[in-house]
Amino acid sequence: MSAIVLFAHGARDPEWAQPFEKIRQHLQQTLPATTVAIAYLECMQPTLDEAISNLSAQGIHHITLIPMFLARGGHLKKDLPALLANIQQQHTELTLHISPAIGEVEDVLCSLAQWIGTEFQKNKTH
């Protein structure tokens, strides 16, 4: 069985999680047979370790991890690899596919630029 894990930064403010929860719901509607989970680097739960342990306990051993980060810095270059090395040691049965971070995907950047352009034109005409 396969699952998607959206891996986000986390924050002290509970409202911060809303966009990720909305994306999770969109995905869950499109892929009703696939578990879609969210995991956080800090401040929020579950952690990546907790989320993956939960999935593994359900017999899910193929996970696509989506780094929900706009840009690559220390969190993706250092923190995430360290977490993953530890997780792979604990769950040797696990196949983990780490996707590019959303800010590394040309299509995502293009569609963001398009929305920003529309937003700008809307304000200009008001």
Whole-angstrom CA distances from 11 to 14, 26, 66, 120 are: 7, 22, 18, 29
Q: How far is the CB of 86 from its own copies (least distance, A)?
A: 22
Contact 9, 40 (CB under 8 A): yes
User: Which of 20, 87 has the CB closer to its own copies?
Assistant: 20
Q: Is 94 in the site for its own copies (CB under 8 A)?
A: no
SS (H, E, C) 33-92: CCEEEEEECCCCCCEHHHHHHHHHHCCCCEEEEEECCCCCCHHHHHHHHHHHHHHHHHCC
Binding span for its own copies by CB under 8 A among 49-57, 79-87, 98-106: 98-106
Q: Is 87 in the site for its own copies (CB under 8 A)?
A: no
Q: Residues with catalytic annotation?
A: 9
Q: Site residues (CB under 8 A) for its own copies?
A: 2, 4, 6, 8, 11-13, 15-20, 22-23, 26-27, 30-31, 34, 62, 64, 66, 68, 70-74, 77, 97, 99, 102-117, 119-120, 123-124
